[in-house]
Amino acid sequence: MGKKESNKDRMKKKKVSAIKNNLYFLRLIWGISPSRVIYNFVNVFFDFAMWTFYSVTFMQFLFGAGENMRSFTEVAIFIWFAVALSMGANTFSAWYQNCFVPRTDIQIHYELNAMLFQKVQTVDLSCYENPEFYNTYTKAAVEASERTKSVLDNCAKVMAAFLSSFFVIWTMCSITPWALVFVALPLVGNLFVGKKLGKVLYDIEQESIPAKRRMDYVNRVVYFRKYSGELRLTNVFCILRNIYKTAMEETIATARKFAFKRSFLSIVKSVLMYVLGFEGMWVCAAVLAIRGRISLSELVVLVNAIVSVSWMLNDLENALSSIFSNAFFIENLRQFFGYVPKIDESAGGKEPPQQVDSIEFKNVSFRYAGQEKYALQNINLTLYRGVRHALVGINGSGKSTLIKLLMRFYDPTEGVILLNGVDIREYDIKQYRQRIGAAFQDFALFAATVLENVLLRESEDSIDREAAVNALKNSDVYDKIQTLRYKEDTLLTREFDNEGVELSGGERQKIAIARAFAGQAPVVLLDEPSSALDPIAEYKMFEIIAQLCEGEHKLSVIVSHRMSSAAACEKIFVLENGKLLEQGSHAELLAANGTYAYMFHKQARNYQTEEGGYDV
Ligand code: ADP
Ligand code: MG
């Protein structure tokens, strides 16, 4: 008994949240385009009103004209009135569907996405590693504008269908109370069957999700340029084709599994509606008419009204079920908009100093969300202004993680990072990040001009341009940019423009490095800035970076897995398995003859033998 009640409670809550969620979305659309909400309601109400009018009132009047001895003029005026009403409603509907909706759809689509873009930028990076959150966001983003029409239409339909079916049922019952039986029986039956059918459809959808995801993955991979090389050169396509094939077979199997139940329920539904509803009412009306209990006009109204009201109730039921399914999606959207970031970019805080003297890691440990292993463990180190620091270690040792903590993409799980002695969490995060020029290991170039790709914002004046040009010169890619048709205003990538250019891996990386210097930030973080460069270019790059950092007394950290490049830095940190193993200058570390010395000698040997003597 207790369990039943708690289930009921849950159902009740679900209903409340479905209504709440739909109202939330209506408010959201109202904020963007109030007229769309109003006209949508007007349009749907017109629809149902016309339907009710023609199937009941019009018939009642016309067939009752003889019985009620109405004059010809009266009938003519009524018909003209009906025609005018219909013309008016149709004209409005045509304007609404063809002029108004397409225009406001675009506006709503744009504004909703603008809101989503705005929000997604404030979301913690760690959220991207949480598949559940990621799905919530992508679903919300993809469906936001698609569902707009459905939410608006169905909310209006529920009200309009309820009111008009109430009116029709009332009219029918005033002719004969028997009508209630032929309306109620199919309705109750349908609610029951409809619920079961809805559950079957939901189950089919749920069971197909994993297979659909795999199909989506293959679709993406086949069309993405990033994969096209491997796809052409190798037989990897066979693997993808098999994934697709098995996924498709699973989807078909799921559809088959539910096929019988689905068709059985559909048949029951039609029997309830057509046999029990329509034909029951017709037979009943005919019997009543033969016995002289009802007039001809009443017979016509009953015959018409049962068909109309059945469809209206059907619409009402469909609209209600759409309202419920939309509520799930709106829940995603609400959760997303309601997400409170752990690292709140709008929180404000102290203004960080212009001159950064030191950055200290104090007992810093960090674990990625959902991971058991610590990516960094009890790190204690201090970085100073004017000193070039290198961070070395094999792949996965935690170098990039340390850089991400410095950027405040994540906050330490334990311990603190101090800038000039103050916990970096106390600073205004936007201003704090402005103090840092960074080039990431997994950088991305955007479909924008070279200049914008360096500045990572719009260029506002000649000072901006000069800074970007200098940065390009420093990162040794300016000569190449000069050969492009529009120089630094050339569009990168051919995404939108045939005149756009595609740069080589090394050139792309140099643009990424230019970013770190364009803002003239006091702190420079470079995560494997030279991985796409050949050894000579890499050596040159490190010299340039060294000069830049030294000349301007910057605090710099360069991550590299090539020991030889790190050797040029004054202070070297060796990470292994998330722990700080050694620190010191190149000479000190060689003298200590530990991991660094071992790795340095080993790599130097490899370079001599494997890469033809580029021993740097
Ligand atoms: P490095 O830059 O030294 O190659 P990283 O800092 O990228 O190493 O990674 C350190 C460890 O943290 C690795 O074991 C890696 O698998 C793990 N790691 C890195 N990024 C993530 C992430 N987003 N989620 C979970 N684990 C991660
Ligand atoms: Mg890395």
Q: Determine the atom of ligand 1 nearest the C-alpha atom of 402.
A: 6
What would the mean pLDDT of 326-342 be, rounded to a whole number?
83
Q: pLDDT of 412-424, one tens digit each? A: 999 999 999 999 9
Residue 558 has pLDDT above 50, yes or no: yes
At 385, the amino acid letter reads R
For 68, list phi and psi in degrees, rounded to 5.
Answer: -95, 5
Structure tokens at 232: 């052409």
Q: Is the pLDDT of residue 240 over 90?
A: no
CA–centroid distance, 479 to ligand 2, in Å, is 29
Name residue 455's amino acid: L
Q: Measuring from atom 23 of ligand 1, which residue has the nearest CA?
A: 129
CB-ligand 1 contact for 394 (6 Å cutoff): no
pLDDT at 535 over 60: yes
Q: What are phi and psi for residue 379, nearest 5 degrees?
A: -85, 130
Q: Does any ligand 1 atom lie closer than 6 A to the CB of residue 398? A: yes
Cα Dmax for the chain: 118
Provide the pLDDT for residue 421: 92
Ligand 1 pocket, 208 CB below 6 A?
A: no
- Model confidence at 608: pLDDT above 70: no
Does ligand 1 come within 6 angstroms of the Cβ of 395? yes
Pocket flag, ligand 1, residue 371 (CB < 6 Å):
yes
SS3 354: coil
Strands 523-527 and 555-560 come out as: parallel
Report residue 1's pLDDT band, with 50, 70 and 90 as the boundaries: very low
Q: Which own/partner contact pairs does 174-181 have at CB distance under 8 Å and 24+ positions apart? A: 175/294, 175/298, 175/301, 175/302, 176/284, 176/285, 176/288, 176/293, 176/294, 176/298, 176/302, 178/284, 178/288, 179/281, 179/284, 179/302, 179/305, 179/306, 181/280
Q: What is the pLDDT of residues 255-270, one digit of tens each?
A: 999 999 999 999 998 8
Asked if residue 129 has its Cβ within 6 Å of ligand 1, the reply is: yes
CA–centroid distance, residue 96 to ligand 1 (Å)? 54
- CA distance to 41, 73, 280, per residue, from 60 (Å): 27, 17, 21
The full length of the chain comes to: 616
Task: Enter the tokens of residue 21.
Answer: 């969620």
pLDDT of residue 607: 52
Residue to mutate (ligand 1; options 124, 401, 560; most atoms within 8 A of CB): 401
| Residue 129 pLDDT grade (very low, low, confident, very high; cuts 50, 70, 90) | low
Q: 3 pLDDT band (50/70/90 cuts)?
A: very low
- pLDDT more than 90, % of the chain: 40
Instruction: Dig out the tokens for 514 from the structure.
Output: 């230019």
Provide mean pLDDT across the span 170-175.
94
pLDDT-derived band of residue 252, with 50, 70 and 90 as boundaries? very high
User: Of the candidates 568, 492, 495, 586, which has an alpha carbon nearest to the alpha carbon of residue 530?
Assistant: 568
391-397+434-606 maps to which CATH number?
3.40.50.300
Ligand nearest the Cα of residue 442 is 2
Please return the burial class of 306, using the count of CB atoms within 10 Å of its CB with bins 0-12, 13-18 and 19+.
buried
Q: Measure 434 CA to ligand 2 centroid, in angstroms.
A: 22
Do strands 414-419 and 358-366 pair parallel, antiparallel, or not at all (unpaired)?
antiparallel
Calpha distance 285→300 (Å, rounded): 9
Question: In b/e form, how buried is each residue of 261-294, taking b as 16+ CB within 10 angstroms?
Answer: ebeebeebbeebbeebbbebbbebbeebbeeeeb
**DSSP state letter for 557:** E
Supply the mean pLDDT for the chain. Answer: 86
What pLDDT does residue 15 have?
63
DSSP states of 256-268 as a string? Answer: HHHHHHHHHHHHH
What average pLDDT does the segment 347-376 reach? Answer: 90
Residues 6+ apart with CB under 8 A from 270: none
Contacts 24+ apart (CB under 8 A), 538-541: 538/562, 538/565, 538/616, 539/565, 539/616, 540/476, 541/475, 541/476, 541/510, 541/513
Task: Compute φ and ψ for 437, nearest 5 degrees.
Answer: -105, 130
In this predicted structure, the answer to whether residue 374 has a pLDDT above a threshold of 90 is yes
Q: What are phi and psi of 176, to 5 degrees?
A: -150, 130
Token representation of residue 64 = 């009752």
Q: What are 108's two structure tokens?
A: 């709503």
pLDDT above 90: residue 395: no
- Say what the pLDDT of residue 247 is: 94
* Dihedral angle of Cα 280, 282, 288, 292, to the nearest 10 degrees: -170
What is the homologous superfamily of the domain 11-338 according to CATH?
ABC transporter type 1, transmembrane domain (1.20.1560.10)
Three-state DSSP state, 194: helix
Over range 502-511, report the average pLDDT: 86
Q: How far apart are CA 596 and CA 586, in angstroms?
A: 9
Residue 6, pLDDT score: 56
**pLDDT at residue number 349:** 83
| pTM across the whole model | 0.70
Distance CA 64, CA 69 (A): 8
560 lines ligand 1 (CB under 6 A): no
Q: Which two tokens stand for residue 152?
A: 């608006």
Q: Is the shortest distance between the CB of 399 and ligand 1 below 6 Å?
A: yes
Residue (of 214, 280, 222) closest to 248 by Cα position: 214
**Mean pLDDT, range 86-96, rounded to an integer:** 94
Q: Write out pLDDT tens, residues 133-148.
A: 777 777 777 777 778 8
Could you tell me the two tokens for 610?
A: 């494997």
Query: Is pLDDT above 80 for 95?
Result: yes
In short, whether 529's Cβ falls inside 6 Å of ligand 1 is no
The per-residue pLDDT for 330 is: 86
- Asked if 52 and 82 touch (Cβ cutoff 8 Å), the reply is no
pLDDT attached to residue 492: 86
Distance CA 317, CA 322 (A): 9
Provide the percentage of residues in the chain whose pLDDT is more than 70: 94
Among 196-200, 209-213, 368-372, 560-564, the range scoring the smallest mean pLDDT is 560-564
Which segments of the chain belong to CATH 3.40.50.300? 391-397+434-606
Using one digit for the tens of pLDDT, what is the confidence trace for 191-232?
Answer: 888 888 888 988 998 898 889 989 988 888 888 777 777 878
Instruction: Report how far residue 20's alpha carbon sits from residue 331's, in angstroms, rounded to the nearest whole number.
Output: 10
Minimal-distance CA residue to ligand 1 atom 7: 400
Q: Tell me the pLDDT band of 249, cut-offs 50, 70 and 90.
A: very high
Looking at residue 614, what is its pLDDT?
Answer: 35
Give me the pLDDT at residue 565, please. 75
Evaluate if residue 296 carries a pLDDT over 90: no
For ligand 1, atom 12, name the residue with the nearest CA: 375
Which regions of the chain carry the CATH code 1.20.1560.10? Answer: 11-338
How far apart (Å, rounded) are the C-alpha atoms in residues 527 and 559?
A: 5
Residue 9: pLDDT band with limits 50, 70, 90? low
Nearest ligand 1 atom to alpha carbon 395: 4
The pLDDT value recorded for residue 337 is 86
- Among 116-130, 471-485, 506-520, the minimum mean pLDDT is found in 116-130
- Please tell me the predicted confidence (pLDDT) of residue 609: 43
Cα 203 off chain centre by = 24
How many CB atoms neighbour CB 446 within 10 A?
A: 11
pLDDT in tens, 440-490: 877 888 888 888 888 887 777 788 888 889 889 888 889 888 898 888 888
Report residue 37's pLDDT band, with 50, 70 and 90 as the boundaries.
very high
* Type of residue numbered 537: A
C-alpha closest to that of 415 among 374, 464, 455: 374
Angle at alpha carbon of residue 529, lines to 524 and 534, rounded to 5°: 145
pLDDT at position 27 over 90: yes
d(CA 169, CA 182): 10
* Ligand 1 site, residue 375, Cβ cutoff 6 A: yes
